[in-house]
Amino acid sequence: MTPAPATRLDTARIRAARQVIDPVFLGSPQYRCEALEAALGCAVSIKLETANPVRSFKGRGTELVAALLGEDGPRAAVCASAGNLGQALAWSGRGRGLDVTVVASRFAPAAKLDRIRALDARLELVDGDFDMARERAAAIARQDGVRLVEDSLDIETCEGAATIGLELLDTAPAFDAVLVALGGGAMATGVGHVLRTLAPEVEMICVQPSGAPAMTRSWHRRRVVTTESADTIADGVAGRRPIPDVLDDLLLVADDAVLVEEASIIAGMRLLLDRAGLVVEPSAALGVAAVLEDRDRFAGRHVVTIVCGGNVDMDAYHRWIGAAPGR
């Protein structure tokens, strides 16, 4: 076996995490989706992270965070969120009687904000983007002395997501490549760490929107590159300021990082709806979009795409799907 990459993550801890995370987030569906294959020109398996109480993979990480806080922490936490982390932290915190504050952009999808409120978290909106929400969350943590949960930086968020990687390798059918949505990097470094450690032959490809390319550019240049703005419908991955420690890990585990156009993301969402019956948020269609943009690369291979979230405003969703070409 190749030695484990020297990331901040630990394979034994990731295995142990499966005993801590509520089973409702574990063992998510994983299946060949032949109905997609004619359109994509390769064998496609789906890892579906939307069929749980928060409709995204983020519960895997927040369960770890909340379990630790419930043990000996301050019993209060604050996080910045594009919407999915906040929802998941609210869910995990509620079950353990923790006091959760979520800071989000007021431009985040209403569906995500509504669900955070419904889960009894305190929601504070900032008049800016996700990176402004991060600053505000940090200020609240300092001021109130509560735990700041930083997505992708906090190891629990990465190791929680990494349990997806263990599950990918639990079942038999071998695959050649895994397509992972890239935002802050928790899922990419988590799944990547597991693949690099236990299945180094599998290609691990990160996918980010062209409109929010900071982490992908950073990966290619091997140093943090920030952007002035982010412009994409994939709100879940629209960060501008990569975290240096996370980039370091990503450099150790990713084989490639690619950018895709908005039109491809929409085409991917439409394919997932029409052929696979799946309602997904834009971030969850990044893998399909990557295949659509580079069929030759994947022709005849078996790819797994992690469908990482399904929290969309339905009005926007219908607008995207309906406006897409071919309809």
**Residues engaged in binding a copy of itself (CB under 8 A):** 23-24, 27-35, 48, 50-53, 55, 115, 118-119, 171, 273-274, 277-279, 310-312, 314
What's the CA gap between 46 and 144, in Å, rounded? 42
What's the CA gap between 98 and 170, in Å, rounded? 33
By the 10 Å C-beta count (0-12 exposed, 13-18 middle, 19+ buried), 109 is classed as buried
Q: Which is nearer to a copy of itself, 24 or 138 (CB)?
A: 24
The torsion angles phi and psi of 261, rounded to 5 degrees, stand at -80, 160
Taking the complex as a whole, how short is the minimal distance between the CB of residue 59 and a copy of itself, in angstroms? 10
Taking the complex as a whole, how short is the minimal distance between the CB of residue 148 and a copy of itself, in angstroms? 27
Q: Which is nearer to a copy of itself, 215 or 284 (CB)?
A: 284
Q: Which is nearer to a copy of itself, 95 or 200 (CB)?
A: 95
Taking the complex as a whole, how short is the minimal distance between the CB of residue 51 and a copy of itself, in angstroms? 4
CA distance readout (Å), 65 to 83, 90, 114, 131: 17, 11, 22, 21
Q: Which is nearer to a copy of itself, 262 or 274 (CB)?
A: 274
Taking the complex as a whole, how short is the minimal distance between the CB of residue 281 and a copy of itself, in angstroms? 9
Contact 86, 43 (CB under 8 A): no
The residue type of 242 is P
Taking the complex as a whole, how short is the minimal distance between the CB of residue 92 and a copy of itself, in angstroms? 14
Q: Which single residue is written with the structure tokens 């969120």?
A: 81
Q: Which is nearer to a copy of itself, 175 or 219 (CB)?
A: 175
What's the CA gap between 89 and 94, in Å, rounded? 8
Q: Which is nearer to a copy of itself, 173 or 244 (CB)?
A: 173
Taking the complex as a whole, how short is the minimal distance between the CB of residue 237 and a copy of itself, in angstroms? 18
Six token digits for residue 232 = 């994409």
What's the CA gap between 105 and 85, in Å, rounded? 13
